[in-house]
């Protein structure tokens, strides 16, 4: 089914429903379901929107999250799902006074199946944090409405698709304090990787021919969650080589990696019982 077709078929009823909801404020924060028969995954994921601050402030940038609460025994996927699965897809319907930036993904967990494949997953909850900017022109508004259209694949021992729209009416105010979700944002940020600044404070990465060696002296456990790649540049044997006890991780990449612009991912380093997360981005030098 083509993109246009899918949008036309699936979104028209949602749009009509949205119009109906606008004149029915009582239901304004209810998730809009896109047909639970076609999307059995709606039963296992409860999405909502959350603000870090109590209101949107005109002329300021703050943070908004898409929160997916996941039923026990089920999981969603990271930006690189790994060998199987698919990351959730988010798009926003925004008033003209609002712009939303790129999401920050927390570090996932490794999930090995049948000794054959490794996926990067989230259990219980996935929180995607987006920067949200409000133009000064919004000063006269009392509320602004944001809708997120969400699609996901949720898996346990089987996989089912989900699709839902969530809409929130957020207060607009000249100033704002922490919201009741502020702690959720802080907790999520503890799993955001430290940005790559040409090097990392937590490890040394060396690229030699097709091998990436990550050294983190004193670490008791290391793991690499590789970024997704369209160029088939993906380390080999991730089931066995993607995580290791101790302070050294060795990963072999395919031949095509030697001509890639960048390779990398998120490195999870455990030291003194504490796990921290760090970006890694390298340009592989040709032989």
Binding site for other proteins (CB under 8 A): 1-4, 6, 83-86, 89, 113-117, 119, 151, 153, 155, 157-161, 229, 232, 234
Smallest distance, Å, CB 151 to other proteins? Answer: 8
In angstroms, rounded to a whole number, what is the distance separating the alpha carbons of residues 269 and 215? Answer: 10
Residue 226: count of CB within 10 angstroms of its CB = 22
Question: Which residue lies nearer to other proteins by CB, 114 or 198?
Answer: 114
Question: Which residue lies nearer to other proteins by CB, 97 or 151?
Answer: 151
**What is the DSSP code string of 87-106?**
--EEEEE--TTEEE-PPBPP
Question: Which residue lies nearer to other proteins by CB, 1 or 285?
Answer: 1
Smallest distance, Å, CB 89 to other proteins? Answer: 7
Smallest distance, Å, CB 228 to other proteins? Answer: 9
Smallest distance, Å, CB 85 to other proteins? Answer: 7
- Phi-psi region at 232: left, alpha or beta (left = phi > 0; alpha = psi -120 to 50): left
- Nearest CA to 58 out of 182, 175, 169 is that of 175
Smallest distance, Å, CB 38 to other proteins? Answer: 10
Q: Taking a C-beta distance cutoff of 8 angstroms, is the pair 81, 110 a contact?
A: no
- Phi-psi region at 246: left, alpha or beta (left = phi > 0; alpha = psi -120 to 50): left
Backbone angles phi, psi at 73, to 5 degrees: 90, -5
Question: Which residue lies nearer to other proteins by CB, 111 or 278?
Answer: 111
Question: Which residue lies nearer to other proteins by CB, 38 or 69?
Answer: 38
Question: Which residue lies nearer to other proteins by CB, 156 or 206?
Answer: 156
Smallest distance, Å, CB 223 to other proteins? Answer: 19
Q: Taking a C-beta distance cutoff of 8 angstroms, is the pair 25, 142 a contact?
A: no
């Amino acid at each position: 089914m083509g993109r246009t077709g899918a949008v036309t078929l699936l979104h028209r009823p949602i749009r009509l429903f949205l119009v109906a909801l606008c004149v029915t404020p009582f239901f304004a924060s209810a998730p809009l379901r896109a047909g639970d028969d076609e999307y059995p995954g709606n039963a296992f994921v409860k999405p909502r929107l959350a603000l870090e601050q109590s209101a949107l402030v005109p002329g300021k940038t703050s943070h908004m999250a898409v929160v997916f609460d996941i039923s026990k025994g089920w999981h969603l996927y990271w930006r690189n799902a790994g060998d199987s699965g698919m990351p959730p897809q988010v798009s926003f319907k925004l008033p003209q006074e609002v712009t939303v930036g790129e999401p920050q993904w927390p570090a996932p967990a490794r999930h090995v199946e049948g000794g054959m494949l490794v996926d990067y997953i989230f259990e219980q909850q996935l929180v995607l944090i987006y920067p949200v900017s409000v133009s000064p022109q919004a000063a006269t508004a009392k509320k602004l409405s944001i809708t997120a259209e969400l699609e996901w694949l949720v898996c346990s021992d089987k996989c089912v698709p989900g699709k839902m729209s969530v809409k929130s009416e957020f207060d607009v105010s000249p100033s704002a304090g922490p919201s009741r979700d502020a702690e959720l944002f802080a907790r999520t940020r503890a799993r955001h990787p430290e940005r790559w600044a040409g090097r990392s404070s937590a490890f040394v990465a060396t690229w030699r021919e097709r091998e990436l060696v990550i050294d983190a002296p004193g670490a008791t456990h290391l793991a690499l969650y590789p970024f997704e790649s369209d160029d088939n540049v993906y380390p080999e044997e991730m089931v066995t080589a993607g995580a290791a006890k101790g302070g050294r991780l060795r990963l072999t990449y395919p031949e095509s990696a030697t001509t890639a612009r960048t390779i990398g991912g998120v490195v999870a380093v455990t030291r003194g019982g504490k796990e921290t997360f760090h970006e890694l981005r390298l340009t592989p030098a040709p032989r």
